[in-house]
A and B are shown apart, each in its own frame.
Chain A
């Protein structure tokens, strides 16, 4: 186990190093004079000097990387020349909203996927299973932006539920009921996407597990169906589910971008898109870096959880 952990941590460090290099070089994709592009045509000499200091632009490229990474490790992601606020502060304000959205959507997705997969797996190819499977397969082909638009069309305009449409975000501190209302559509949208994946993965694993001998054994002892499902079949079947969840939650950070943008929810995704539109490159770079590292860390954590659930993996 320890050797496995050490190997994974070394791998993690390597990946984060690659991510940092990737994010660093983004700035150099900009056409023309970097300071002019980043600060706009009216760049003051004072601002230019700041940027030179931050990015080490007058030095050779490998030294520039060290200047940049040194700043980042000290929490200095630069100051946006558009909004005059520190990039780190902006990200710090937006991140909790993403976390809340992710948390809500995952609770919904698991709450729906686990019982439905169990129901389906009990009689594979039965009516219920066919219905659920066909439905989940169809949902795979509906991108989140379409789900949002349909939800807005029906929930906000037809049913008229308050705080659900675009531009109606209520912050958690101001009013938590309003906040839940405004988080409902994004959470449901992301939950649907996750649900489809979890349901399909868990269903096929459960079907396989239920054919194993220890299940037949449990049945012959007269243990109830419910107990067999939860106590005997669920744990060995949940490894692939956790794997899918790790990949999926990482993807949610990115997939949530469009949803946030459509509903004007000021999380990281929304901030990223507005900063792309205003050419606020330092902010874009900061968000890309934070989100990428976040995704990698989430995958890393899920690898650990999987190991706890199924210790055989690390012994290989």
Chain B
């Protein structure tokens, strides 16, 4: 896992709460941008885009023009349409692996923080040992040995690698809520564990969960780019942002557009995700309830 994942999490715990600001227009612009990207990824087939694999040898390494909005690459493929199609891999891997990570890590973390006792001790110790294992190296290692590679395997490996981190964040967040008066009150009233977990705890840790999820998606998308560079992501010629940037290296001098546009697409997407995550976190003032 790229390291920023850890650091961001640490920042989330360290940073002092700032004044509660309104979400602001920039927040909604970022949300709009993410929605637009996801829309493009889902409907890429239906949208009036050129075939991302069509090679037009008449116009190679062309700069941006009306016909090719972002220009063409070294074998005449339309860069704009490759970016839209490439977002599919990035977005699927990003959200898919976080679904796995949260699907396993979040319930475990909530349960451990709620039950405490031996269950908590065992799971937490186990997770801390896993956390010490450098996740990005584990990911690279497993993917390089586990051939043939596919998007599903990438999602599975990154998703599992993120479980300990998700566990730690959710456990800490739950711990800070589990001792609040209203939870105790619910217990006294004889509410079932399931009810307390779903109705009292879950809504209160959801904000930090969601903001951490978005930052996690951003981290994983950057990681997919890294894997693409190492030749461990999807097989060419399927476009992904990472492997487009990787392919651009050989013609960097002749056609810098080929590097610049996918890089911009990637950075804006990550920036939006990070910004939304960060704003949500400070908006819900999670650090105030920290242990």
Binding site for B on A (CB under 8 A): 14-15, 18-19, 22-23, 26-27, 29-31, 137-138, 140-143, 145-146, 149-150, 152-153, 157, 166, 193, 197, 200-201, 204-205, 207-208, 240, 243-244, 247-248, 250-255, 257-258, 261-262, 272-273, 276-277, 281, 284-285, 288, 291-292, 295-296, 299
Q: Please tell me if B122 contacts chain A, counting CB pairs below 8 Å.
A: no
Q: Please give me the residue from chain A that is nearest to B278 by CB atom.
A: A137
Partner of A29, one of B137, B145, B248: B145
Partner of B129, one of A14, A145, A253: A14
Q: Please tell me if B151 contacts chain A, counting CB pairs below 8 Å.
A: no
Q: How far is the CA of A153 from the CA of B14 in the complex (A)?
A: 37
Q: How many cross-chain pairs have Cβ atoms below 8 Å apart between A and B?
A: 153
Q: Is B133 in contact with A143, judged by CB distance below 8 angstroms?
A: no
Q: How far is the CA of A205 from the CA of B16 in the complex (A)?
A: 8
Partner of A142, one of B231, B252, B253, B267: B267
Q: Is A149 in contact with B249, judged by CB distance below 8 angstroms?
A: yes
Q: Is B2 in contact with A251, judged by CB distance below 8 angstroms?
A: yes
Taken residue by residue from 247 to 283, chain B's Cβ proximity to chain A (1 for < 8 Å, 0 otherwise) reads as 0110011001001000100110011011100100000
Given A18-B129, A22-B133, A149-B263, the answer on whether A204 and B145 have CB atoms closer than 8 Å is no
Q: Which residues from chain B contact A15 at a C-beta distance below 8 Å?
A: 129, 132-133
Interface residues in B, total, Cβ within 8 A? 52
Given A18-B129, A250-B134, the answer on whether A261 and B229 have CB atoms closer than 8 Å is yes
Given A29-B146, A153-B252, the answer on whether A141 and B132 have CB atoms closer than 8 Å is no
Tell me how far the C-beta of B251 lies from the nearest C-beta in chain A, rounded to whole angstroms.
Answer: 12
Q: Please tell me if B155 contacts chain A, counting CB pairs below 8 Å.
A: no
Q: How far is the CA of A77 from the CA of B258 in the complex (A)?
A: 42
Q: Please tell me if B47 contacts chain A, counting CB pairs below 8 Å.
A: no
Q: Please tell me if B150 contacts chain A, counting CB pairs below 8 Å.
A: no
Q: Which residues from chain B contact A292 at a C-beta distance below 8 Å?
A: 133-134, 137-138
Q: Please tell me if B93 contacts chain A, counting CB pairs below 8 Å.
A: no
- Mostly, the A contact residues are helix
Q: Please tell me if B181 contacts chain A, counting CB pairs below 8 Å.
A: no
Q: Please give me the residue from chain B that is nearest to A19 by CB atom.
A: B133
Q: Please tell me if B192 contacts chain A, counting CB pairs below 8 Å.
A: no
Q: Is A145 in contact with B225, judged by CB distance below 8 angstroms?
A: yes
Q: Which residues from chain A contact B256 at a C-beta distance below 8 Å?
A: 153
Q: Is A273 in contact with B129, judged by CB distance below 8 angstroms?
A: no
A-B contact pairs, 10 of them (CB 8 A): A18-B133, A141-B270, A142-B267, A145-B246, A146-B267, A166-B249, A247-B10, A250-B134, A288-B140, A296-B134
Q: How far is the CA of A153 from the CA of B278 in the complex (A)?
A: 31
Q: Please give me the residue from chain B that is nearest to A251 by CB atom.
A: B3
Q: Is B16 in contact with A146, judged by CB distance below 8 angstroms?
A: no
Q: Is B15 in contact with A204, judged by CB distance below 8 angstroms?
A: yes
Q: Please give me the residue from chain A that is nearest to B148 by CB atom.
A: A31
Q: Please give me the residue from chain B that is nearest to A37 by CB atom.
A: B147
Q: Is B134 in contact with A201, judged by CB distance below 8 angstroms?
A: no
Listed from nearest, the 5 A-B pairs whose CB atoms lie closest are A251-B3, A141-B270, A141-B271, A143-B222, A29-B145
Q: Which residues from chain A contact B274 at a C-beta distance below 8 Å?
A: 137, 140-141
Q: Please give me the residue from chain A that is nearest to B7 by CB atom.
A: A197
Partner of A258, one of B129, B147, B226: B226
Q: Please tell me if B4 contacts chain A, counting CB pairs below 8 Å.
A: yes
Partner of A141, one of B140, B144, B145, B267: B267
Q: Is B226 in contact with A143, judged by CB distance below 8 angstroms?
A: yes
Q: Is A26 in contact with B134, judged by CB distance below 8 angstroms?
A: no
Partner of B11, one of A29, A30, A200: A200
Q: Is A257 in contact with B140, judged by CB distance below 8 angstroms?
A: yes
Q: Which of A143, A240, A277 has the most CB of B within 10 A?
A: A143
Q: Which residues from chain B contact A257 at a C-beta distance below 8 Å?
A: 140, 226, 230
Q: Which residues from chain A contact B218 at a C-beta distance below 8 Å?
A: 141
Q: Which residues from chain A contact B230 at a C-beta distance below 8 Å?
A: 257-258, 261, 273, 276
Q: Is B270 in contact with A254, judged by CB distance below 8 angstroms?
A: no
